Chains A and B, each alone.
Chain A
Amino acid sequence: MIENNADAELAALWARAHKGDDVAYRAALGLIVVRLRGYFRRRLAAMPDEVEDLVQETLLALHVKRGTYDPALPLANWVFAIAGHKLTDLWRRRGRREALHDPYEDVAESLAAEATEEFPARRDLGMLLETLPAAQRTAIRLMKIEGLTATEAAQRSGVSASALKVQVHRGLKKLAALAREDR
């Protein structure tokens, strides 16, 4: 029942976010983060260091791919299908690079951990952001970090507002790809 209420609240926030409500979007992503942490922590008991990286990578994927959400379907299916895809991807890569015999001693400890508590991510997205092409980096800094509107950012940078939006979108797509490769 609590689960269902939480689902309904998240779905309502997401529906508003889908139409362009940024406050609802931030709140929805915040709720999703907590659930993603729980999801990955249960499945990555043997490698807790990976959890926060995978949460961040999944968030980027959710954002970049958010047009693929079909409002007629349950939001949780979409979110966890993407989370599962990221998890499979991690297993596949790990399986290729190193043998899968991680120690199991710390399973209980990480299972007991609160999913709201954040471990530091090993990969720093801030540093990856610095490796983006200058035009994308600048657009993301102005519009996503300093929080300028498209018009203000266009005045500051001398680039048109629509071009800036394209650069932000490309930059986040590129960042998602870089995060995926950086494992």
Chain B
Amino acid sequence: MKTDELVDLLAQGAGPAPRAPLARRFGVVLPAGLALGIIASVAGLGLMPPFMWGDPAFWIKLGYAAALCAACVWLASRLARPGAPFGKAAWTLGAVAAAMGLAGVAALLATPPELRLAYLFGNSVLRCPWAILALSMPTLIGTLWALRDMAPTRPRLTGLAAGLLAGGTGAAAYALACDETSLTFISLWYSLGIGLAGAVGSALGPRFLRW
């Protein structure tokens, strides 16, 4: 087939450009992934003790997760469009992570030295990052699927954004089963779990986001 014939074929009855499916798919995949994560978290790990609902730490975990998710949705939707600048979204994501890191360091410095190790490691340090990673998997599969029909030209970076987004929902789901109250703990181990999900995403990106 000659190129001119291909142009004719493509233009013939082409109609208006279809809307990119990303917003619609994220609208399905994110709530579904979060719901699956919450079910797995509460059923598998058990709901946190009731007093946690009144603890600021719980709401900080949710706020951190929500801010990360928002920045990652923005970043992923820029990366999904060829040629779209994504610097602002990436900086915003970095700022959210940095703010949590600073809060963690500040909280650690404000803690009496003899208590610092306890605040840093809590009592669930071996569970937290891995649980967040596991709870983020449903969302990761969903976000990669949603991004497949877009046109990411940087599959590794796009996979990273998808992974961190999934990590954010995994962290929110895990918060419901977590009784840690230290900001230092959250800033370190929650971030590590979310980062692990990001690493899995960036490893899967080049494989799943080909086009």
Residues of A within 8 A of B5 (CB): 126
Which of under 10, 10 to 19, 20 to 34, or 35 or more describes the interface residues of A?
Answer: 35 or more
When the two chains form their complex, are residues A147 and B12 in contact, meaning their CB atoms are under 8 A apart?
yes
Cβ-closest chain B residue relative to A141: B9
Question: Beta-carbon contacts of B12-37 to A below 8 Å, as 1s and 0s?
Answer: 11111111110000000000000000
- CB contact between A143 and one of B3, B13, B19 (< 8 Å): that residue: B13
| Contact of A67 with B21 at beta-carbon distance under 8 Å, contacts A121-B3, A126-B1 already known | yes
A125 to B16, CA, bound (A): 24
A68 to B12, CA, bound (A): 20
A79 to B7, CA, bound (A): 15
Q: Kindly state whether residue A10 has any CB partner on chain B within 8 Å.
A: no
Q: Kindly state whether residue B116 has any CB partner on chain A within 8 Å.
A: no
A18 to chain B, nearest CB (A): 5
- CB contact between B81 and one of A55, A70, A74 (< 8 Å): that residue: A70
A103 to B179, CA, bound (A): 66
When the two chains form their complex, are residues A69 and B81 in contact, meaning their CB atoms are under 8 A apart?
yes
- Which of chain A's residues 111-154 have a Cβ closer than 8 Å to chain B? 118, 120-121, 124-126, 129, 140, 143-145, 147, 149-150
When the two chains form their complex, are residues A29 and B9 in contact, meaning their CB atoms are under 8 A apart?
no
When the two chains form their complex, are residues B1 and A29 in contact, meaning their CB atoms are under 8 A apart?
no
Residues of B within 8 A of A180 (CB): 210-211
- CB contact between B10 and one of A29, A55, A84, A120 (< 8 Å): that residue: A29
Question: Beta-carbon contacts of A54-88 to B below 8 Å, as 1s and 0s?
Answer: 01100111010111111001100111111011000
Residues of B within 8 A of A39 (CB): none
When the two chains form their complex, are residues A29 and B7 in contact, meaning their CB atoms are under 8 A apart?
yes
Residues of B within 8 A of A69 (CB): 17, 81
Residues of A within 8 A of B73 (CB): none
Q: Kindly state whether residue B150 has any CB partner on chain A within 8 Å.
A: yes
**Chain A interface residues (CB < 8 Å from chain B):** 17-20, 22-23, 25-26, 29-30, 33, 52, 55-56, 59-61, 63, 65-70, 73-74, 77-82, 84-85, 89, 118, 120-121, 124-126, 129, 140, 143-145, 147, 149-150, 169, 172, 176-177, 180
Inter-chain pairs besides A65-B211, A126-B5, 8 sampled, C-beta below 8 Å: A19-B16, A20-B16, A56-B1, A67-B21, A68-B151, A74-B83, A147-B12, A180-B210
**Chain B interface residues (CB < 8 Å from chain A):** 1-21, 80-84, 150-151, 153, 210-211
